Amino acid sequence: MRESRDFTRFACGLLALLGLALATPPAEARGCFPIAERLLPGVQLASLPDGATVGITYLGHSSFWIETAGGTTLITDYNGYHTGPVLPDIVTMNNAHSTHFTSAPDPGILHVLRGWNPLGGVAEHDLEYADLRIRNVPTSVHGRSGAQGNSNSIFVFEMEDVCVAHLGHLHHMLTDMHLGELGVIDILLVPVDGSYTIAQVSMKEVIEQIRPSVVIPMHFFGTASLDRFLALMGEDWDVVTVGGSSLAYSRMTLPQRQVAVLQPERW
């Protein structure tokens, strides 16, 4: 199984090297594969608008509440105090920094996915649950105690016809191997503090590496750092401020090159 995953990663990296210049990679080269056939007919989460594939609510800091059309729920960078309306099915924790994880998640959560391996080595996740697939792409974190290699993960959430990626506490540019493992990302959740992660100019370069349709900023402290990021992105992206903390998308409603600013429910 490990050999198979290693081969898949190698193949994805090779595809990235050969095909990153293509505006629309072929379906078989994508890292995000639709799994709509696993949806139960007629199942629709009441809180999502008709036709929406995914709902995203910004809870604060790096935590988002994500829900699928089939009713699966999760929280990113679950820290125990940025919580959703009910207990989620799944939580992810990108790295072991105090505001990005908790050592005591609620035992009622079905799946707790950590972006680092507490036993050492590389964290590896590829979970399929109902109408959702979650996998991780390991990266590194600098400025923490102990070994920093593979201590952060980008989590990728695949649902029906939309792919969402959460960059976590990213501290460096991405390699072709990272990009090959990520695949085609539609919505990118991006830390924009410019100091605790990477500089905002570099983060914009990462965004252009990934080329999502929508960028949603997170991990900002007050409006000053957010405003600087928006001014930088506004040079060639459409910046839209949403009057609330939630948005819902489907493949048909995805804009192009849009930065969507959500208001955190809790600062």
The predicted-structure confidence for 143-156, as pLDDT tens digits, reads as follows 333 345 556 789 99
Look at residue 7 and tell me whether its pLDDT is greater than 80. Answer: no
In a domain, 26, yes or no: no
For the segment 82-110, what is each residue's pLDDT rounded down to a tens digit? 678 889 999 998 765 666 556 677 899 89
CA-CA distance, 132 to 159, in Å (whole number)?
5
Residue-level pLDDT at 26 = 35
Residue-level pLDDT at 114 = 85
In a domain, 252, yes or no: yes
Residue-level pLDDT at 99 = 65
In a domain, 244, yes or no: yes
pTM attached to this predicted model? 0.79
Q: What is the dihedral of CA 141, 198, 254, 246, to 10 degrees?
A: 80
Residue-level pLDDT at 262 = 94
User: Given pLDDT bands bounded at 50, 70 and 90, which one contains residue 22?
Assistant: very low
In a domain, 126, yes or no: yes
In a domain, 224, yes or no: yes
- The first and second tokens of residue 112, run together, are 């707790």
AA identity, residue 37: E
In a domain, 25, yes or no: no
Q: What is the dihedral of CA 209, 167, 58, 103, to 10 degrees?
A: 180
In a domain, 266, yes or no: no
CATH number for the domain that contains residue 255: 3.60.15.10
For residue 207, the enclosing domain spans 2-20+31-261
User: Given pLDDT bands bounded at 50, 70 and 90, which one contains residue 44?
Assistant: very low
In a domain, 219, yes or no: yes
Return the half-sphere exposure (C-beta side, CA atoms, 13 A cut-off) of residue 178. 20
Q: What is the dihedral of CA 192, 194, 197, 201, to 10 degrees?
A: 90
Instruction: State how many domains the chain has.
Output: 1
User: Given pLDDT bands bounded at 50, 70 and 90, which one contains residue 14?
Assistant: very low
